[in-house]
Amino acid sequence: MELRAVCTRVKNSLSDPLIRWKVAALFGGKVIGLAIVLAAMRIFVAPPVYAADGPTPEINALNTVWVLVAAFLVFCMQVGFVMLEAGFARSRESINILVEGIVDTCICGITFWAWGFAFMFMDGTPFIGTHGFFLQGLPETYLTTGVPLLAYWVFQFAFADTCSTITSGAMVGRCGFVGDILYSIGVTGFIYPIIGHWAWGPDGWLATMQAAAFRDFAGSTVVHTIGGAISLAGAIALGPRLGRVFARDGGGPMLPHNIILGAVGGLILWFGWYGFNPGSTLSALDAQGIARVSFNTTMAACSAV
């Protein structure tokens, strides 16, 4: 009976010309998208071109594993962000938070592969990198770390994803899905990589300041200041959350719909910081540095609470 009902529903739907047009448009869009992806893979996802006259870089397996484990921990922060924001928001806003978190991550992966990493970590000008798009023509390892470039990319992709997700929490309940997509492309594709180049690029104007006047070890400026500034701008532009009643009018902050979910998300974020900060040493052999950064991370979180 269920199969017959499904067949009947499909038959009735296909008899509607509007539905047929929508199905054809959706299917055509998927075919076009698949063709574009396959073409991009054929053109860009190819073995990087290395300099033929230089020595083959030596891969440090221990450092590579350390950086990848740290990258996976940082990626876990996306779970923490989604749970924290959804828990402290109203239940009707949870779906938007979940979808935004997933789509934002996917957009970040594409933009950071296509041009974000090149803008940020390749040389060019003091303000932006000018080569290495789609990770082409780059050395096998990142600088002298012995970490494969692709492993370092995964680590930095997780950083970029975090920067964009910080923004979403400040605009819960008043930013539509299209707005989420637009600011995600803007943050992960342009704002974060370009400002990151200033601080972390080989010829960034902040990185080359005399007497080490500026230093950002793990992103307190590059990640969190950018995310915070964009969040503030978004909150000012969008105004208060829909339905918010301020204290002067007899109201107060909106109550979270699931405090347990929010608390678990916060602890997962704390757990992710142990990849975010100690992982920025890029070396498993720097035992003292890893221990010091882990200790500072713990004390910072405890003191803040």
Q: Residue 68's CB: how many other CB atoms inside 10 A?
A: 19
β partners of residue 99? none
Residue indicated by tokens 């370009």: 194
3-state DSSP of 107-148:
HHHHHHHHHHHHHHHCCECCCCECCCHHHCCCCCECCCCCCE
Q: Element (H or E) spanning 25, and its range?
A: helix 17-43
Contact 261, 203 (CB under 8 A): no
Structure tokens at 245: 């009643």
CA 10 to chain centre: 40
- pLDDT tens, 183-231? 999 999 999 999 999 999 999 999 888 656 788 999 989 999 999 999 9
CA 276 to chain centre: 13
Structure tokens at 34: 């698949």
Q: What is the pLDDT of residue 99?
A: 92
What's the CATH superfamily of 60-304? Ammonium transporter AmtB like domains (1.10.3430.10)
Between 37-41, 44-48, 193-197, 202-206, the lowest mean confidence (pLDDT) is in 44-48
Q: How far is CA 89 from CA 82, 256, 260, in A?
A: 11, 5, 12
pTM for the whole structure: 0.83
Of the candidates 131, 133, 126, the residue with the CA atom closest to the CA atom of residue 199: 126
Contact 173, 93 (CB under 8 A): yes
Between 46-50, 200-204, 276-280, the lowest mean confidence (pLDDT) is in 46-50
| pLDDT greater than 50 at residue 51 | no
- pLDDT tens, 249-258? 888 888 999 9
So where are the chain's domains? 1-43, 60-304
Of the candidates 185, 188, 191, the residue with the CA atom closest to the CA atom of residue 128: 191
